[in-house]
Structure 1
Amino acid sequence: MALPLLTAACIGAELDEQAEGLVGEEELVGEAEGELISTNGFLSNALLPNALLPNALLPNALLPNALLPNALLPNALLPNALTAIKDPGTTGAVSRELLRYIVSCSLRPDQTFSFSWTDSSGVAHPEVYRGDLGYAHWWASGGISNDTYVQHQISACLAARVNWYGVTVSISLRNNEMSSSPAERAAYPVREGAFWGNVFASTPYLGACYDSVGYARARQLQRDCAAGHVETNPTTGEVTWQQCGSMVIWGSCNQLCNGIDTNGGYFRGCVTNYVVSPYVRTDQVVTTFLTAAP
């Protein structure tokens, strides 16, 4: 199935480095990033840039469920997956981008996925994708077809990093698998929203909700996938609100999600699909946090 999962992505513009008061904020960010490095990044800190580009799933491009049966290694991929990431055209570009973020969410910083592809001019391009969070570090030696918990965690990580505008913003990702340091929480105090889903399912889906206070800061940074993308018709002045591709924005997290963790500030769980049932919840949710306004 070719689902346009990331056809309209949701990332904001980077903060202006010359803005007043940013120097102190950068110091906190640097300290928090140090926490990620010093703890080896294994489910202990999720301070990551997010710039997952649009159109990550196209017809004939890499489909996440094609990766499930075998180890996350080039020589273990199914033929259609290997063909997708080595394609020299647009299919290959979006396939490699999606794979890079899957590796980032799944493997540890000491693990890599390396391969090479050849462009239409015959020039070889070596690729090395390094892990960050380690959600499924064992995927390097075996498949995760039967591990739906991990599939949901990786999917939530991907959803949280989807990009509408194509530029990078540093965010803090938190949930019950990822702790956060005091420095990280100080540098990223604004709760944006929450993300969940399963891109590996036979019918892939992603869901999101917005924080009733933090969505204003999210829109200021042009991160629209929690609160929805707003466009104004330049001729009529009509304002329209759009979903982020196939990601369904269900509404306010304060109404859809469980209690907030007292330490990390993340939502413990959210309603999976309100149309199907307002009672069925998932705890495989990633809550995102942003920097405060200067």
Structure 2
Amino acid sequence: MVFSCARIVGLCAVPLMTVACIGAEIDEESEELVGEDQSAIISENGNLPNALQANGLNLNGLNLNGLNLNALNPASLSTNALASIKNPGPNGALSRELMRYLVSCALRPDQTFSFSWTDSAGVVRTEAYRGDLGMAHWWATGGIANDTYVQRQITACIAARTNWYGTHVTISLRNSESSMSSSPSERAAYTVREGAFWGNLFASAPYVRACYSPTGVARARQLQRDCAAGHLSVDPATGATTVQQCGPMTIVGSCDAVCNRVDTNAGFYAGCLENPATSAWVRTDVVVTSFLTP
């Protein structure tokens, strides 16, 4: 599938084309289906890295570990979670952006998550987030607390759609799930394998990991997609170039070193080491691989 993103702050594009970006401004317009293929979706990105940090989401109540116990609808949210997405300040904007991506990954296009909040000027704002992929469409009425597979799928979906900048970039996301299948035309257009994403933001100790495809690093950075390869930063004192992590994500290195075979048809990684720092054997197959245009 194909997505288009602008920016996600604090949190974190099966074959799915997604625009992945992170930047300074958050565009909260609704997403629209586009393209010839029904699986082609234009979606906006956000500045999710900051939203995932403890000083953003978690302390404001939209704690994913607690959220998974409830249905993904406003009426079932905890008092703290509801207050988080209604917060008129910067943290509220991050929480709403994260919620929008959760809904996009989890619910179907015919499902929406709607609520109202009042901004700092006293103006009532109405939000209506539409689902896209339907990875856990039943979450609209029931929890996913006991389904770690779904938790991992949603985590990988969100992580792959996160970007350091607020730049719009269209990406193709792929894995073995039918909701992330890709068409021949999509695979022909998005040939640069960028990297892979996995983890579980709903676990008692949330984590997100990423790796980069060596052949895609230059193109990713050219398009300002740094969450797989790492964000390049120049030390003003020494002039030395350093590589920074993308928010709470842990970049574990080259996908060629930590992931196993790639799918012969769609080119996604079949699985990667769960945590290379602790085991060279334990793998996860709940991985989303992102692709870029050449």
User: What letter matches 1:11 in structure 2?
Assistant: C
> What is the CA–CA distance in structure 1 between the aligned matches of 2:262 and 2:231, rounded to whole Å?
25
Q: Equivalent of 2:183, from 173, 177, 181?
A: 181
Q: Contact between 2:10 and 2:94, CA under 8 Å: does it hold in 1?
A: no
Residues 151-188 of structure 1, C-alpha deviations (whole Å, 9 max, x = no match):
00000001101121122211111001021001111111
Secondary structure, counterpart of 1:154 in structure 2: helix
Q: Aligned pair in 2 of structure 1 residues 46, 70: CA closer, same or farther (>3 Å)?
A: farther
TM-score (norm 2): 0.84
Separation in 1 of the partners of 2:182 and 2:142? Answer: 29
After superposition, the CA RMSD in angstroms is: 2.1
Determine the C-alpha separation between the residues in 1 that align with 2:11 and 2:116: 28
* Cross-structure match for 2:68: 68
Write the deviation string for residues 125-144 of structure 1: whole angstroms up to 9, x where unpaired: 00000011111011111110
Say which is worse superposed, 175-184 or 49-58, in terms of deviation.
Answer: 49-58
- State how far apart, in whole Å, the 2-side matches of 1:282 and 1:137 are: 23
Match of 1:104 in 2: 104
Task: List alignment gaps of at least 5 residues for structure 2.
Answer: 1-7, 13-19, 24-32
Q: Quick check: which has more Rg, 1 or 2?
A: 1
Q: Of 237, 255, 270, which aligns to 1:253?
A: 255
Aligned pairs for 1:1-294 (under 5 A) are: 7=10, 11=21, 33-36=35-38, 45=39, 47-53=41-47, 54-57=49-52, 58=56, 59-177=59-177, 178-233=180-235, 236-292=238-294
For the residues of structure 1 that align with 2:249 and 2:128, how far apart are their CA atoms?
Answer: 29
Using the TM superposition, give the Cα deviation of residue 221 of structure 1 relative to its aligned residue in structure 2, in angstroms.
0.6
CA contact (8 A) 2:106 2:136 kept: yes
Once the two structures are TM-superposed, the CA of residue 233 in structure 1 deviates from its matched residue by 3.3
| Structure with greater proportional strand content | 2
Deviations 1:266-292 (A, max 9, x none): 000000101111111111100000011
Aligned amino acid, residue 45 of structure 2? A
Whole-Å separation in 2 of the counterparts to 1:97 and 1:198: 18
Whole-angstrom CA distance in 1 between matches of 2:64 and 2:170: 25
1:20-53 deviations in Å (ceiling 9; x for gaps)? xxxxxxxxxxx983213xxxxxxxx465545121
One-letter amino acid matched to 2:183: S
Q: Which residue of 2 aligns with 1:18?
A: none
Deviation at 1:235?
5.6
Of stretches 52-61 and 98-107 in structure 1, the one that deviates more from structure 2 is 52-61
2-structure distance, mates of 1:236, 1:263:
46
Per-residue Cα deviation, 1:92-139 (whole angstroms, up to 9, x for no partner): 111101000000010111110000001122211000000111110111
In structure 2, relative to structure 1, the CA distance for the partners of 1:225 and 1:114 (3 Å cut) is same
**Cα deviation code 1:196-221 (max 9, x no counterpart):** 00111111000000002011110111
Aligned to 1:219, the other structure's residue is in SS state helix
Moved over 6 A (4+): none
Q: Distance in 1 between matches of 2:193 and 2:130?
A: 27
Q: Cα offset for 1:232?
A: 2.2
Answer yes or no: is the 8 Å Cα contact 1:257–1:268 preserved in 2.
Answer: yes
The answer to whether the 8 A contact 2:233-2:243 is kept is yes
The structural deviation recorded for 1:231 is 1.5
SS of structure 2 residue aligned to 1:277: coil
- Judge conservation of contact 1:11–1:224 (CA < 8 Å) in 2: no
Structure 2 SS opposite 1:84 = helix
The alignment covers a number of residue pairs equal to: 263
